[in-house]
Amino acid sequence: MLALPFFTKRFGIKKVLLLGLVTAAIRYGFFIYGSADEYFTYALLFLGILLHGVSYDFYYVTAYIYVDKKAPCICVLPRRG
C-alpha cells in the first residue's frame, strides 16, 4: 500500500488498475494450478497468497480512489457512513 502513490503518479490510475487485474489473474492461476499439481502445490499456493496484497491494493483501492475522483459529490455522499 505504501507503493501505491508512487505507481499512480508514475504510470497513472488506469495502468495501475490494469496491473491490479493482471496480478489478480496470475494469483487465481496460481491457485488453479496449485491445486492440480502435486509437486508445487504449496509453493504456488504461497505465491498466490503473496500476490493478494498487490492485487487488492492495485485494483480495489485504486478503483475506490478513481471513483471518488470521478463521481459527483451527490453520488459520493450517500455511500459514506
Sorted by sequence, the CB contacts under 8 Å of residue 37 that are 6+ apart come out as: 44
pLDDT digits (tens, 9 = 90+) for 45-77: 899 999 998 899 899 999 988 888 887 766 656
**Is residue 33's pLDDT more than 90?**
no
Contact in structure between 13 and 70 (CB atoms under 8 Å): no
> At 41, is the pLDDT very low, low, confident or very high (cuts 50, 70, 90)?
confident
CA 42 to mean position of chain CA atoms: 22
Q: Distance between CA 38 and CA 44 in Å, rounded?
A: 11
pLDDT exceeds 80 at position 37: no
Share of the chain above pLDDT 70, in %: 86
pTM: 0.76
DSSP state for residue 77 in the 8-state scheme: G
Is 16 within 8 Å of 58 (Cβ atoms)? Answer: yes
Q: According to the model, what pLDDT value does residue 43 have? A: 87
Residue type, 57: D
Res. 29 pLDDT band, cuts 50 70 90: very high
